[in-house]
Structure 1
Amino acid sequence: MKTLLSAAAAAVALPAIANAHFLLEYTTDTMIEKPGDVPVKLIFWHPFENGHVMDLEKPQEFYVIHNGEKTDLLDTLEPIRFTGGENEGAAFKGSVPVKRSGDYVLVTVPQPYYEESEDIYIQQLTKAFLNRNELPTDWMNPVGLPTEIIPLNKPTNIIAGSTFTGRVLADGQPVAGAEIEIEYMAAEPDMESSAASAPKASPMPGGAVVAISDDNGYFSFGVPKAGYWGFAALGSGPATEHEGKELSQDAVIWIRAWDLE
């Protein structure tokens, strides 16, 4: 009986574990002072609990948009091993050329990842943001992904304690009723060691933090703490199958919150 109960509990927990995956486009800062190449790491991980690291294949696309122009960054990527609190996995390091003032929108289109525990594929179409000299140019514009989250607040300097609002789109149209998982990057990657730093917080009881988009695709979240926050609209994309199996094509966005001092 005990074995049956344990198996049932594990089965209930599996979807939450799988859905908690987050693709990171990590830079140590979002506000860039000096021109140059900004190091970035792509990691498929559970950063809130400093948990399991998934092996990341070389993405289908990795690029940046600045002043409406797209620059391919795929050739900057080099494979690395990243060590989290539970294991190590395949990841990538690259760089983003930041020269002129304005926004730099990082975009990653990864290969679909097979989640064996659920027998499905996951593809997280991910955006993150840099800015130089506080000039707004691109952060509010769609980049044309099959599914994406459009920020309604400037994502590089959200005030901790305020709210963040986003809009989920698929093929350019709002997605009603999308389930958005919210993740705090409690353990940030160390750029030198390619390992996780000590977590600054722990997940609260009750499982994943979730919001639901309204009829027009909007959702809001009260940001309680400074740092990086990720939002993943699960299965919001138009693609639903890969290699004969179910595909969850997710829209992911990362924002940076700051304390008022």
Structure 2
Amino acid sequence: MKKLIFALAVMSVVLFAGQAFAHFGMLIPDTDELTQAKRTVNLVLSFSHPFEGQGMELEKPAAFFVAVDNDQRIDLLATLKPAEVMGHSAWKTSFTAKAPGLYTFVFDPVPYKEDAENNYIRHITKVVVDAYGEGENWNTPLGLDTEIVPLTRPFGNYAGNVFQGVVLVGGKPAPYTRVEVEFYNKDGKREAPNERMVTQEVLADGQGVFTFACPWKGWWGFAGLNTAEKPYEGRELEMGAVIWVEMK
């Protein structure tokens, strides 16, 4: 009986370890470019393991807005409508750009309780959309609690390009931040040869700068992970600075 209990315990640990994929806040538009022919962008907000296609529940975010040319902020929280992504609660909305410029969409979630890691997760997630070819100053911080400021233009990229960014916490570079990188395997056609290949990982340098080359076309998520100074609801709070970039 003791041997059986031990074997079951080992099996549960192995199975649990096999499910320990990276979490990502997801903010995916149907385009990273608005033109005269397409003036409206459709966006989906979710929380998931994007490569493996495993979804998690996303409560209505605490905040959701678009920053126009890194200046004017338009509150979009009331525009969100319920949706479903990977079998779990998500949100969707549409936005029409009335003028040329840079449109950075941001959502700040209600912290997600992760019992498996005995913590809470707060991924402040953003994506940048260029409107009518006038998206400039794309490397300007928005003043978020934590964010990735791109050093590579976050739109209009080829597959195979390098993406580079700097992780900020409290407006300052966060040295040696661990950055998780994952491909949104939306159609499920990509298959990792083993579990360690699902989530790529790079370490920022002493100035908070990281670099990663994206081999495939599609959406790539970058999550710079740090721990908040203060716990949340008695648990450690993972602060994720997340940005999504499309490679074409």
Q: Same-fold call, TM > 0.5?
A: yes
Q: Give the distance between the partners of 2:104 and 2:137, measured in 1 at CA.
A: 7
Find the structure with the greater CA-based Rg: 2
Aligned pairs for 1:5-84 within 5 A: 5-10=10-15, 12-13=17-18, 16-17=20-21, 20-34=22-36, 36-50=39-53, 52-67=54-69, 68-82=71-85, 84=86
- Name structure 1 gaps, 5 residues minimum: 188-197
| Structure 1 residues 232-261: Cα deviation after superposition (integer angstroms, max 9, x where no partner) | 11225x454111111101100001111xxx
- Name structure 2 gaps, 5 residues minimum: 1-5
Q: Give the distance between the partners of 1:94 and 1:138, measured in 2 at CA.
A: 25
Partners of 1:158 and 1:257 within 8 A in 2: yes
Aligned pairs for 1:74-153 within 5 A: 74-82=77-85, 84=86, 88-153=87-152
TM value normalised by structure 2 = 0.90
| Structure 1 residues 45-70: Cα deviation after superposition (integer angstroms, max 9, x where no partner) | 122121x2111111111000112211
Q: Give the distance between the partners of 2:106 and 2:183, measured in 1 at CA.
A: 20
| SS of 2:55 mapped into structure 1 | coil
AA in 1 matched with 2:202: A
| Structure 1 residues 200-224: Cα deviation after superposition (integer angstroms, max 9, x where no partner) | 3123422421000000000000111
AA in 1 matched with 2:14: A
- Tell me what 1:200 maps to: 189
TM value normalised by structure 1 = 0.86
AA in 2 matched with 1:163: V
| SS of 2:12 mapped into structure 1 | helix
Q: Give the distance between the partners of 2:206 and 2:45, measured in 1 at CA.
A: 33
Q: Give the distance between the partners of 1:146 and 1:243, measured in 2 at CA.
A: 18
Partners of 1:66 and 1:138 within 8 A in 2: no
- Residue 244 of structure 1: which of 234, 238, 244 is its match? 234
Runs of 4+ in 1 over 4 A off after TM superposition: 10-14
Partners of 2:31 and 2:41 within 8 A in 1: no
| SS of 2:246 mapped into structure 1 | strand
Question: Structure 1 vs Structure 2: percent identity of aligned residues?
Answer: 33
Structure 2 residue 226 is matched with structure 1 residue 235: yes
Instruction: Tell me by how many angstroms 1:7 deviates.
Output: 3.5
Partners of 1:43 and 1:56 within 8 A in 2: yes
| SS of 2:14 mapped into structure 1 | helix
